Structure 1
Amino acid sequence: MKKILAIGNSFSDDATRYLHQMAEAAGIETKVVNLFIGGCPLERHWQNIETGEAAYQYRLNGKTTERMISIDEALREEQWDYIVTQQASHDSGWMDTYEPFLGLILDHIRQYTGQHMPQAELLLHETWAYETGSTHSAFMRYHRSQEEMYDRLKKCYYAMAEKYHLRLIPSGDIIQEARQQEPFRVSEGGISLCRDGFHMNIPYGRYLLACVWMKTLFSVRASELSYVPEPEEGEEPADEALLARIRQIVDMAGR
């Protein structure tokens, strides 16, 4: 069994919503935990480590639970294979919001994993730029430009990954690439990968993220994936042609 711990917010919630089910359909047994606080930045993650506060809602295999937990309690819970963190989207393009907090968080986790789970790999999850026309209050920090936000956050994530010798889960890159492809060109009337201007579309945006995580963590090509998300309450079944297009985009990304 592969065990994945995400220390994040609603963006890691989007990323992990289908991951367990997608891996299961591919014959990979997983436990996927997301430590959730909406909009939580690195600075607050570090503050929560310092206080030991059980401030996170424990989300297991894409499902919400009532359990509240601290980061250290979550670290002790399992022999994790992958531990993933990220910056909050609103701060993602501002280098001065990453430090010293990311370094402190990584040092804290590495002190524990070095003693108790040396197999654990730490990764950064590259978040994504807001949709064109997003009404998110923080979008003005990027002059309401998706391209500016993407360029800034990419620079930050790549710099931090290099500094701390971390692999990057390149969700932001692949989402931006998908936005240049049919049928996701919003400027031409295409389908938005966001549901509200910043969180991922259900199911297509979340499906894309799960494909990216499968490719990064398990080296599984998206074309090999058979999982089809079950419709959420009130949602239409997923269009399998669109899912196939997403798999194609993920496989082609970075070539």
Structure 2
Amino acid sequence: MKHYKSYILSLLCFTIGILCIIYTVKAEDEKGKELRLLVIGNSFSRNATLYLPQLAAEGGHKLVMQKAEISGSPLKMHWDAVEIAEVNPDDPKGKPYNGKSLKMLLMNGGWDIITMQQASTHSAYPESYYPYINNLYNFIKKFQPAAEIVIHQTWSYREDASYFSRISEEERANSAQEMWEKSRMAYHKVAKEFNLRIIPTGDAFWQVSSDSKWKFIPDANFNFKNAVYPELPKEKNSLNVGYSWTKNKKLKLDANHANQAGCYLGALIWYSFLFRESPFNLKFVPENVSQDFAEHLRETASKTVLNKN
């Protein structure tokens, strides 16, 4: 039995080693080539790709990135704009991407990778993806048949959010974990149906948010009911924007969008996914992210993407 266990362990280590070598060889083969990326999304894709250009440059990769983003937009809104532009190409409502339609962006040269995502508020509601994901997929393939279409898995809100994603027309998820689990199922359902790879940003966020050592813990000592400007609660290891003061000195919470740490983690995931390369040794770190947390985020990104490929 001991010899058998030893054999299995040796075989496992050998297999992991081979996978790492293949992963590295692919990365080296692709280094120096220009990658053309079209991002169809909203503020969450904007968050996740904020630091991607810096990381790509540091890693020695040539990246051309175009955005087709509408803040807060679900898949339906992107498809609605396509239909408007098809009826009347001059209608401004059909050109929501800085005065351009999706067709105009798709026809702007060859794209290597084109990403899509659902709005976070609908991400855990599978029915909300249809028929818009089908329509967009077919529309993209019509003009960019050689491009790889991939799905960007968005993340769950912070545990102290006042609401979470819809799971049906009438219900919302009851917790950050339920939102992650059900949105993950929805994204994987779509990916399987269309045979698409997934950028696992949502999984990486959850890995950090559920880690006993690194997860965000709400400040139990802060007096939220009688908060005094400009005091703010402690929000160590938060991946989300969190609390801030408005111009009218009212305390507000954004538990949805990514802060610098969350944007950094998202960019690390995208970097590793796009270039098939671990981001662990990259040096760039946003100014408000501690070195130890940044190292953990790089490690998380590396493990999350490597385990998916």
What is the TM-score normalised by the length of structure 1? 0.86
Highest CA radius of gyration, 1 or 2?
2
Q: Secondary structure at the match of 2:266?
A: helix
> Do the aligned partners of 2:164 and 2:174 also contact (CA within 8 Å) in 1?
no
The aligned amino acid for 2:262 is G
> Do the aligned partners of 1:14 and 1:200 also contact (CA within 8 Å) in 2?
yes
Is structure 2 residue 58 aligned with structure 1 residue 25?
A: yes
Aligned 1:34-49 pairs, distance under 5 A = 34-49=67-82
**Structure 2: stretches of 5+ with no match in the other structure:** 1-33, 86-93, 220-234, 242-253
Aligned 1:153-164 pairs, distance under 5 A = 153-164=183-194
> Do the aligned partners of 1:184 and 1:193 also contact (CA within 8 Å) in 2?
no
The aligned amino acid for 1:151 is E
Aligned to 1:54: 95
Q: CA deviation at 1:183?
A: 2.4
Aligned to 1:60: none
Aligned to 2:156: 129
Aligned to 1:63: none
Aligned to 2:285: 228
User: Across the two proteins, how many residue pairs are aligned to each other?
Assistant: 234
Aligned to 2:265: 208
> Do the aligned partners of 1:16 and 1:34 also contact (CA within 8 Å) in 2?
no
Aligned to 1:192: 238
The aligned amino acid for 1:239 is S
> Do the aligned partners of 2:239 and 2:261 also contact (CA within 8 Å) in 1?
yes
CA distance in structure 2 between the partners assigned to 1:185 and 1:228 by the alignment: 19
Deviations 1:167-198 (Å, cap 9, x if unpaired)?
Answer: 00011111101112232243687421110200
CA distance in structure 2 between the partners assigned to 1:141 and 1:198 by the alignment: 18
Aligned to 1:234: none
The aligned amino acid for 2:56 is A
Deviations 1:156-177 (Å, cap 9, x if unpaired)?
Answer: 0000000001000011111101
Q: CA deviation at 1:226?
A: 2.3
Aligned to 2:105: 74
Q: Secondary structure at the match of 2:162?
A: coil
CA distance in structure 2 between the partners assigned to 1:122 and 1:86 by the alignment: 11
The aligned amino acid for 1:161 is A
The aligned amino acid for 1:69 is K
> Do the aligned partners of 2:164 and 2:179 also contact (CA within 8 Å) in 1?
no
CA distance in structure 2 between the partners assigned to 1:213 and 1:138 by the alignment: 23
> Do the aligned partners of 2:38 and 2:114 also contact (CA within 8 Å) in 1?
yes
Q: Secondary structure at the match of 2:99?
A: strand
The aligned amino acid for 1:219 is R
Out of 123-132 and 242-251, give the one that drifted further: 242-251
The aligned amino acid for 2:96 is A
- Give the ranges of 4+ consecutive aligned residues of structure 1 lying more than 3 Å apart after TM superposition: 136-141, 187-190
Seen in structure 2, the aligned counterparts of structure 1 residues 135 and 69 have a Cα distance that, compared at 3 Å, is farther
The aligned amino acid for 1:30 is L
What is the TM-score normalised by the length of structure 2? 0.71
Out of 176-185 and 72-81, give the one that drifted further: 176-185
The aligned amino acid for 2:76 is E
Deviations 1:78-117 (Å, cap 9, x if unpaired)?
Answer: 3111100100011101111011110010001011112xxx
CA distance in structure 1 between the partners assigned to 2:270 and 2:37 by the alignment: 11
The aligned amino acid for 2:237 is I
